[in-house]
Structure 1
Amino acid sequence: MDQGAAAVTMDDVAAAAGVGKGTLFRRFGSRAGLMRALLDADEQEMQQAFMFGPPPLGPQAPPLPRLLAFGRLRLDFVRRHSDVLCEAERDSPGGYGPAGAVLHTHVRLLLARAGADGDLDIQADALLSLVNAGYVRHQLLDRHRTPEELADGWAEVAVKLCRRETVRRSRRR
């Protein structure tokens, strides 16, 4: 009977694996660590796509289209893995673990290359908050937003952040 990631206990996993609960805690540190390990292969696959893949995600694409494609990719990833992601973020809210650091660095780099100015760390965090698992789940289930609306929202914010510098430069002329 599948009850989702929230219903999985370390006792359940230990029993299914035929090991002691202590073995799991030594290996994964916490239940959230176990959930992050479950996501690792898919996170790495996604990272390969945006770091080395073809356009529009990969490095051969211009920065703004890459940023927009990344938002849609991450939103799709979050939708597919939302149960496990929500549980994985319990001891590092907001996704500030190793995978989250890769995402943040990537978004910050794309913002810089696309012409955004100001505090790029805060801007990257703001964009990534739009694809946070808890936020996405709330928008879809409680606010009845569609995935398309969420993707369009990401794109709107990203474009506004990247166009600010362009607008300022044109006003100076």
Structure 2
Amino acid sequence: MAQRTERTERADALRNREAVLAAADALFAASSSPQNVSMDDIAAAAGVGKGTLFRRFGDRAGLIGAVIAARLEPLQQAVQEAQGAAGSPPRQRVLDLLDASLRFKIENRNLMSAAEDAGLSSPYRAGHYDWWHGILRTALDRVPEVHEADFTAHALLAAIRADLVAHLIDDLKMTPEGLRASLAAHIGNVLGNTSEPPTGGGRSPVPG
């Protein structure tokens, strides 16, 4: 009986967690002012008490971080599968990685803005930053023209900070396609000229 009760409680907790993440995801995506999406709003949409949110996620920043992690999980899996596939030249792999990250940030600008307002403004404190940096550094290590892969990975990721992406898209009205093309050109400048320059993220692992 005790084991059955424990399994039921665990199943209920998992369902609550999934409901909260889905509700928060939908609210941030739909809101033009993500900083105004409150814990009360999320609890009501998920059908749980606000105390459940704080017990499960600690605070608003923790909840937002969990939503970002949930959204990133399928992308990270797709990136790892694409990186493991044979055939892509090293320079193209670098472009594909950065294009994937850029597209994620473009599509999730509201959520990223909410993260900044919740005190997660430094990308270096986010767990996913180390993942992106590590996999990008590995790709850069295979590009003969790159001699400081670790620093170059940091520098290239800085070019697609979430706050910069939001500024370019929302304030300066740059189109997503234009921003992706500019990123591809920037990567070409950083990596140096070659007879086979990278194209505009044509093999990005992010679904179109």
Shorter-chain TM-score above 0.5: yes
**Identity in percent:** 36
**TM-aligned CA deviation for residue 44 of structure 1:** 1.1
Q: Structure 1 unaligned runs (5+)? A: 167-173
Which residue of the partner structure matches residue 137 of structure 2? 108
Runs ≥4 residues deviating over 4 A: none
Aligned residue pair count: 161
Are the equivalent residues in 2 in contact too, given 1:36–1:88 (CA < 8 A)?
Answer: yes
Q: Provide the residue aligned with 2:181 in structure 1.
A: 152
Partner of 1:169: none
| Residue 50 of structure 1 pairs with residue 79 of structure 2 | yes
* Whole-Å separation in 2 of the counterparts to 1:36 and 1:92: 8
1:153-168 to structure 2, matched below 5 A, reads 153-163=182-192
Alignment RMSD:
2.5
Helix, strand or coil for the counterpart of 1:139?
A: helix
Identify if the C-alpha distance between structure 1 residues 155 and 58 changes in structure 2 by more than 3 Å, giving closer, same or farther. farther
**1:111–1:162 CA contact under 8 A, matched in 2:** no
User: Offset at 1:65?
Assistant: 0.3
Q: Are residues 1:91 and 2:119 paired?
A: yes
SS of the counterpart of 1:88?
Answer: helix
> Structure 1 length as normaliser, TM-score?
0.78
In 1, Cα distance between equivalents of 2:58 and 2:189: 40
Matched, 1:81 2:108: yes
Q: CA deviation at 1:103?
A: 0.8
Instruction: Name the CA shift for 1:58/1:93 in 2 (closer, same or farther; >3 Å).
Output: farther
Give the partner amino acid of 1:128. Answer: L
Higher-Rg structure is: 2
Structure 2 unaligned residues grouped into runs of 5+: 1-26, 195-208
Q: TM-score, normalised by structure 2?
A: 0.66
